[in-house]
Amino acid sequence: MLFWPFALAVVSLSNWYCDGQSVWADIQGVLQQTQDRFQHMSDQIIRRIDDMTKRIDDLEKNISDVMAQNQIEQQQP
């Protein structure tokens, strides 16, 4: 008669351990998904910053070209 409650407790602990592993696996999955999303967003932000840097460089070059052209035109009689 004492064996039955003990067996039930062992099965219950075994189920709890398996559920704990399942929960841990789920948590690891969610953390991996979150990290992947952050990495994707970080990559997008870096690409956008690089694109904006190129645009600013192009704009600075165009402004320099316009200023140089303006100086040439002002020097001509």
pTM of the model: 0.58
Mean pLDDT of 17-41: 84
Task: Express the helix, strand and coil content of the chain in percent, nearest 5 each.
Answer: 95, 0, 5
- What is the pLDDT at residue 10? 53
Q: Which two tokens stand for residue 70?
A: 């303006």
Q: CA-to-CA distance for 73 and 67, rounded, in angstroms?
A: 10
Residue spans of the domains in the chain: they are 35-64
Q: CA-to-CA distance for 63 and 57, rounded, in angstroms?
A: 10
- What is the pLDDT at residue 1? 46
- What is the pLDDT at residue 5? 55
- Which of 10-19, 27-36, 65-74 is predicted least confidently? 10-19
